[in-house]
Chain A
Amino acid sequence: MARWEIKNVRFAGVSACVPKQIVKTADYDIFTQEEADTFDKTVGICERRIAPDDICASDLCQAAAERLLEELGWEKDTVDALIFESVTGDYRTPPTACLLQDRMGLSADCFCLDIPMGCCGCMYALVVGGNLLTTGNVHRALLLVGDTALRMGSMKDKSRVPLFGDAGTAIALEFDTEAEPIVIDFHTDGAGYTALHTPHGGFRHPFTAESLVYEDFGHGIVRAPMHTMIDGMSVFAFAISKPPRSVSQFMTDYQLDKDTDIDYFLIHQANKLIVDRVVKKLKLPLEKVPYNLEEFGNLGGASIPSLMVTRIRERLQGGEPTRLLCSSFGLGLSWGTMLLNLKNVTIPELVEI
């Protein structure tokens, strides 16, 4: 079983940065206005922020992190560990975390690590960062979680283009023996890996001329093997079945009552169809389930931290303890459930660049 109760680690702050450019569904030339209206109504993603080509996920994360460090009052040389979680790093090598250590002016004594885990990225970063800090060997960590996922796919793929937005987030963790435990539960089903897949460009199928050849798969899906693809039905089937079961089991194991023990349920903002279904299956009280997909789309691993910044910021900043139960699911296939007890969290206003 992959379940952690991470003690002695305080969730000190969280921030998010998005590009200024707002793109509405009808702005994509692959959609008619009628198709865009239908998409907005059924999938629920009406607009998203899209970065220009010269801004990478690391830039968005850096801007979020710089603002967070400023508001926390942390000197840069006190950051002992930097984790960059993204599937859209700057280069195939070296790890982007190392580049960020230099660009942000962090200490040469800082431990730097990349994690490419997609939509569960926030939880993976918290598992790794939290376990680095729990013994007190290192005291402060920054977790940078973000992606520019649109550019991974084909701009002629109607099944994928409108789903994603770009964002970078930063989470600050600090060693603190008084902190409430962070509980994270993880699962993996590698047999389903082709549901979210980039066929060419790795070492199984290196990039060749064939990688650039577009194929028409029908239903408005035109892409080449170098592009990331989504098997929509398989993703739906996975997302509405395995994650809710794990959340249900988690609540049973920890004797959590959804009405009295949890203040908010933060569900990965994949799309409205999936989130609504997860909410309905778990019979969650709607007022406890914030959404931001209508405004930002699917932000991958940044989805859950972005909900904290854009939807429940004031509550988390206050001194009243807030209990969050989070559910993420995505690449791998992987899915996780996370329980956080937060208060007095430093949360800058949403950063735009």
Chain B
Amino acid sequence: MNNLEKYNEIFANVFGAQPDQLGANYCKENVSEWDSVHQLNIISEMEDAFDLMLDPEDIVACTSYEAGKDILRRNGVEI
């Protein structure tokens, strides 16, 4: 499984999202279930899947599918 597949699986686990749903519009504003608990779950799965310890700023900024990718890149994950 490559990094993108691992990342997409996080959204499948947290929201039940299919890969074709994921893109620029998949964000807190457009996904009604995306509350602080779900955001924490995304972060937790990202940290576990990519063996990271994210900074508070990254955790707060993880409000969209694309933002999550940027956070991974900033933390040295190629995606």
Contact = CB atoms under 8 A, between A and B. Distances in A.
A236 B53 contact: no
A237 interface: yes
Contacts of A233: 36, 39, 59-60
B54 A241 contact: yes
Contacts of A232: 36
A238 B55 CA distance: 8
Q: A-side binding surface: helix, strand, loop or mixed?
A: helix
B53 A234 contact: no
Contacts of A280: 44, 48
Nearest to B59: A237
B19 to A, nearest CB: 26
Contacts of B60: 233-234, 237
A240 B40 contact: yes
A281 B53 CA distance: 8
A43 to B, nearest CB: 8
Contact of A42 (B37, B47, B56): B37
Given A42-B37, A273-B37, A273-B40, A245 B53 contact: yes
Contact of A241 (B36, B37, B39, B56): B56
Interface residues of B, number: 16
A273 B36 CA distance: 11
Interface in A162-213: 192
A236 B40 contact: yes
B47 to A, nearest CB: 7
A244 B59 CA distance: 15
Interface of A: 42, 192, 219, 232-234, 236-238, 240-242, 244-245, 273, 277, 280-281
A65 to B, nearest CB: 37
A235 to B, nearest CB: 9
A25 to B, nearest CB: 15
A196 B54 CA distance: 21
Given A233-B59, A234-B56, A236-B59, 20 more contacts: A42-B37, A192-B56, A219-B35, A232-B36, A233-B39, A234-B60, A236-B36, A236-B40, A237-B56, A237-B57, A237-B60, A238-B56, A240-B40, A240-B44, A241-B54, A241-B55, A241-B59, A245-B53, A273-B37, A280-B48
Contacts of B36: 232-233, 236
A233 B53 CA distance: 17
Contact of B59 (A192, A240, A273): A240
Interface in B22-79: 35-37, 39-40, 43-44, 47-48, 53-57, 59-60
